Structure 1
């Protein structure tokens, strides 16, 4: 299709840039590594490359060079909506070009041919205990579909060619992003709606179709579009994106790679944080605001009680950002328009007004501003999606877009298997005593 041809042209234009950098400038030094970075999870070590998105500490995420407001403004909108379709965003992530409506329609039509999940995948998930975590179900569902991998079949064919390998990654990537919302909706209905499944509506775009398949109304279609786009990518260093890249660097196919990424996303320090923030917010509401409006004075006192008891304020702070997360802001604006009187949103809004000042005065938080998790659960709760262990699945549907776009480009540019060098603790102690490693 036209998108694949456009992507092919982009890759062919881009490859010489990567080749030249390695060949002519490969020994140019761009960073240093300290002992605290070595022990502390490689924090801020510049050793990954992606052109899909970049996380600026002050501006927040940029998708293909555009901020979130710029991204939402420039892309073609869904019919009757203020939000673009996920299909339009997918074209943009892959190519960096703002698509025409005709190009968006072509992606939508292509996804319709790909979105049918094989029946055996549903059978496998149904065989799991019903109280299995929905993220386990999603990961197993993606892994089960590995038998459909076009990349794996190409590798096993004996005709494997690195130059064109990206084309088969692209095919798998498109299959995965088209199918994962269908798989997620099946899991939701199986676990929480008595297995009352709703068939795909072939007339709807991805976000609208997901809303339809879980029994939601018109407003939730925009929730889904917004949510999947906002959670799609956050440069390469986060656990889900990095894991997907790492596993695929071994030429594991996209199904294996993204199942691994989902397993990382399920961690409480990554994608599951939205669930934990909502749990904390509801308990906070019950304790402090059950029978009264959340005033500035009340919330200030309650937050200090929280901090003085040794607890943290979930949803505040970020490993990279040093300002309010623009993804938080986008969701806050949605809430102000569509659910301004929701009691839980009013509480979250007041915490937003008060918490940065309290945390700054407290002095133990590098970034006193909210991240995306401080807001996202409130929207789902308002629309009746109250099963918060499912929230990370929603995250996983959106994150598939960024992860699949990234590994398509990884193969297109022929990136090597990732293999960092390890050191021992005695080595670090020796270099610490000597004031650094002698080169």
Structure 2
């Protein structure tokens, strides 16, 4: 960076002065953890059992992790519903019918009903006609200063779309729907073109392919991503299923709640979706699948015998003891804010992961994933005080799926976003329709009030 920007060297260094100020910052921002209990603060807007504080109502999706038995809530196999339909039945439906599900389930989440064949065809055509970017957008926005992080690149592209929209600030339902349909359709292009633009800057060949109208969203992603434009039917079907599984997950997940919060302020669609993108980027949310993949890469290097359960167990213990991988003390892909027995999305993924692993020659890797899935809850239970069960979440297997599909890690989280933008759109529309009140929770102030001290007396 110094070579290209020598005058701004201090911008990119942690100087001794910054370190001193950081110590002061940490000292005066630290809060005694016991005070959270004393004042009954629901950290993370959840109780000790992981149950979220009720902050809103939604018709879009429902997560079931507990059932009432003899008057008491008990953990159960996880279930996910889109507009009242079980996700497993929806996936089975479009797989049995041998058609792609992204467009059909997008219609369902946005409009509340499963489309007829005629409605689906018309909706597909609506999305196709919006698979275009403004003139010179690729050159003027995407190709300029491409980011090594695709989520940041995408957020910038989305925010720049504001400049091309004459009705950018109109928050009426028809206009916001128009904007959302545009972004859903344009997102795959922004994602893939941003990836190619960065690679071009790094010295690789540049190829930009326009989406084909006859292809599904999943097919177009694979076609635009690969220089030879080739992909197999199984690859496209599994990517399509991954998009459907990631589309929505209740109103309380971090990025969707961000969508509600930002929408409640009255701001525009582009700012709202960019804010949701910033949330999803985090490694505790959408960025988790990259962490899972990187963790397993480290595990494969340091565990000599992948079939030796004792050796795998020791590595997992080292993870929790902050001795392995990134020293964060986490086993990525394990545990969920809501589910405690099973994540239905992971269950669906697992079925197809095994099939894909056999086809791609990844049987040993799949077996290692299975071993970790079985051992991790035991190890976590031994090492940590947990208030509910621990299970593999959707990120646990999605990274393996994407690696077997040959997708670059830089696009793992953007692919999640390409799906979740549908849910964000549905929730933005729901917030605008039903709630005209800015979201503003309370924080208890702890700092004692003090008298002002003049400069000469400090």
TM range (shorter): 0.7 to 0.9
**TM superposition shift of 1:395:** 1.1
Residue 178 of structure 1 is matched in structure 2 by 185
- After TM superposition, the score normalised by the length of structure 1 is 0.79
Residue 55 of structure 1 aligns to a residue in which SS? strand
Residue 455 of structure 2 is matched in structure 1 by none
Distance in 1 separating the partners of 2:307 and 2:87? 30
Of 279-288 and 354-363, the range deviating more from structure 2? 354-363
Distance in 2 separating the partners of 1:37 and 1:253? 35
1:376 is aligned, of 377, 381, 398, to: 398
**Does structure 1 residue 69 correspond to structure 2 residue 88?**
yes
Residue 126 of structure 2 is matched in structure 1 by 110
State the Cα deviation string for residues 384-405 of structure 1 (Å, max 9, x = none).
22x3232111111111010001
**TM superposition shift of 1:232:** 1.1
**Number of aligned pairs?**
380
State the Cα deviation string for residues 283-312 of structure 1 (Å, max 9, x = none).
0011104xx443434423433344355633
**TM superposition shift of 1:137:** 0.4
**TM superposition shift of 1:95:** 2.8
The change in CA–CA distance for 1:297 and 1:94 in structure 2 (over 3 A counts) is same
Distance in 1 separating the partners of 2:168 and 2:264? 14
**TM superposition shift of 1:129:** 3.4
The change in CA–CA distance for 1:263 and 1:298 in structure 2 (over 3 A counts) is same
Distance in 2 separating the partners of 1:404 and 1:35? 38
Residue 339 of structure 1 is matched in structure 2 by 357
**Does structure 1 residue 38 correspond to structure 2 residue 41?**
yes
**TM superposition shift of 1:424:** 1.6
Residue 100 of structure 1 is matched in structure 2 by 116
Residue 242 of structure 1 is matched in structure 2 by 257
**Does structure 1 residue 209 correspond to structure 2 residue 220?**
yes
**Does structure 1 residue 304 correspond to structure 2 residue 302?**
no
Distance in 1 separating the partners of 2:280 and 2:123? 27
The change in CA–CA distance for 1:66 and 1:204 in structure 2 (over 3 A counts) is same
The change in CA–CA distance for 1:230 and 1:364 in structure 2 (over 3 A counts) is same
The change in CA–CA distance for 1:37 and 1:408 in structure 2 (over 3 A counts) is farther
**TM superposition shift of 1:130:** 4.1
Residue 359 of structure 1 is matched in structure 2 by 380
1:266 is aligned, of 281, 288, 293, to: 281
The change in CA–CA distance for 1:307 and 1:264 in structure 2 (over 3 A counts) is closer
CA-based RMSD of the aligned residues comes to: 2.5
Structure 1 residue runs of 5 or longer lacking an equivalent are 1-32, 156-164, 428-439
Q: How does 1:157-196 map to 2 (within 5 A)?
A: 165-192=172-199, 194-196=205-207
Residue 30 of structure 1 is matched in structure 2 by none
Q: How does 1:2-151 map to 2 (within 5 A)?
A: 38=41, 40-43=43-46, 44-57=52-65, 58=76, 59-74=78-93, 76=94, 80-81=98-99, 84-149=100-165
The change in CA–CA distance for 1:306 and 1:416 in structure 2 (over 3 A counts) is closer
**TM superposition shift of 1:334:** 0.9
Distance in 2 separating the partners of 1:361 and 1:414? 45
**TM superposition shift of 1:92:** 1.0
Pair member with larger Rg:
2
The change in CA–CA distance for 1:111 and 1:195 in structure 2 (over 3 A counts) is same
Residue 29 of structure 2 is matched in structure 1 by none
1:200 is aligned, of 208, 211, 223, to: 211
Q: Is the 2:143–2:197 Cα contact (8 Å) retained in structure 1?
A: no
State the Cα deviation string for residues 336-364 of structure 1 (Å, max 9, x = none).
11213413322112211322233334453
Distance in 1 separating the partners of 2:90 and 2:269? 26
Structure 2 residue runs of 5 or longer lacking an equivalent are 1-35, 47-51, 66-75, 324-328, 449-458
**TM superposition shift of 1:367:** 3.0
Q: Is the 1:90–1:401 Cα contact (8 Å) retained in structure 2?
A: yes
Distance in 1 separating the partners of 2:368 and 2:133? 40
Residue 44 of structure 2 aligns to a residue in which SS? coil
Residue 411 of structure 1 is matched in structure 2 by 432
Q: Is the 1:166–1:409 Cα contact (8 Å) retained in structure 2?
A: no
Residue 350 of structure 1 is matched in structure 2 by 371
Residue 54 of structure 1 aligns to a residue in which SS? strand
Q: Is the 1:53–1:233 Cα contact (8 Å) retained in structure 2?
A: yes
1:294 is aligned, of 271, 290, 307, to: 307
The change in CA–CA distance for 1:189 and 1:223 in structure 2 (over 3 A counts) is farther
Q: Is the 1:124–1:141 Cα contact (8 Å) retained in structure 2?
A: no
Residue 41 of structure 1 aligns to a residue in which SS? helix
Distance in 2 separating the partners of 1:205 and 1:173? 18
Distance in 2 separating the partners of 1:334 and 1:37? 43
